[in-house]
Structure 1
Amino acid sequence: MMRQSDREGFFERVYDAVRQIPEGSVATYGQIAALIGEPRRARYVGFALHANPYPGEVPCHRVVFADGRICEGFAFGGPQAQRTLLEDEGVAFRDGTHVDLDACRWPAGL
């Protein structure tokens, strides 16, 4: 469990990293965790994004699971809202719930 002050610093580092994901690209929770120097904290990345105090500024919809799956409980309107936001940016999907990571994964940290 993280202390409150540690969590706030972690969350801000997550938001800073996610702000850098370009339109039309996605990153995974684990990729963001690794980019901020916390490779074993992918789940905490999800907690941070669920609590995002900067909607519209931090593009949470560009973060997906390691297998490319979009989030079933996407905080801003459910999985269809996440899918629509990604499709509007040109992100390709393999099927109804998985983005094509080979085609649209942000290469940072890989």
Structure 2
Amino acid sequence: MARILDDALIYEILSVVDEIPEGKVATYGQIARLIGRERNARLVGRVMSMAEFYGSYPYHRVVNHAGRLVPGWTEQKELLIGEGAVMKKEGYVDIKRCQWEI
């Protein structure tokens, strides 16, 4: 039976996001695995799209599996560079150098 997206699940995802250190990034899939829902990377993405309504979390540190930033969100790149993250090319963080190792 599929779990419904509720506040408990949202805060479970956001608690993982809150642990990502400055200058590091995590992928949607990585966060999904950490909460025991390895097939739900898109669910994590959906939560990230509404994270601002749940408090102050460093959701700018979440990228896709290739390190691609959120299209159209220019502040994400600025925030990551300000924390010391290394950009690989336009719109991508260097995932090999910046991925959060757990």
State if a TM-score over 0.5 links the two structures: yes
Normalised to the residue count of structure 1, the TM-score between the two structures is: 0.84
Shift of 1:2: 4.5
Task: Percent identity, please.
Answer: 39
> Which whole-Å CA distance do the structure 1 matches of 2:80 and 2:54 have between them?
18
**Paired amino acid for 2:28:** Y
- Aligned CA-pair RMSD: 1.4
Q: 1:14-33: per-residue Cα shift (whole Å, max 9, x none)?
A: 10000000001000000000
Aligned to 2:46: 47
**Paired amino acid for 1:100:** D
Q: 1:32-90: per-residue Cα shift (whole Å, max 9, x none)?
A: 000011100000001111111244x21010000000000114xxxx2x11000000000
Mean Cα displacement is larger for which, 8-17 or 28-37? 8-17
For these two proteins, the number of residue pairs brought into alignment is: 100
Aligned to 2:65: 66
Aligned to 1:15: 14
Aligned to 2:90: 96
Shift of 1:7: 2.8
**Paired amino acid for 2:71:** E
Secondary structure of the residue aligned to 1:94 is strand
1:87 correspondence with 2:81: yes
**Paired amino acid for 2:39:** R
- Runs (5+) with no aligned partner, structure 2: none
**Paired amino acid for 2:45:** G
Q: Which runs of 4+ in 1 moved over 3 A?
A: none
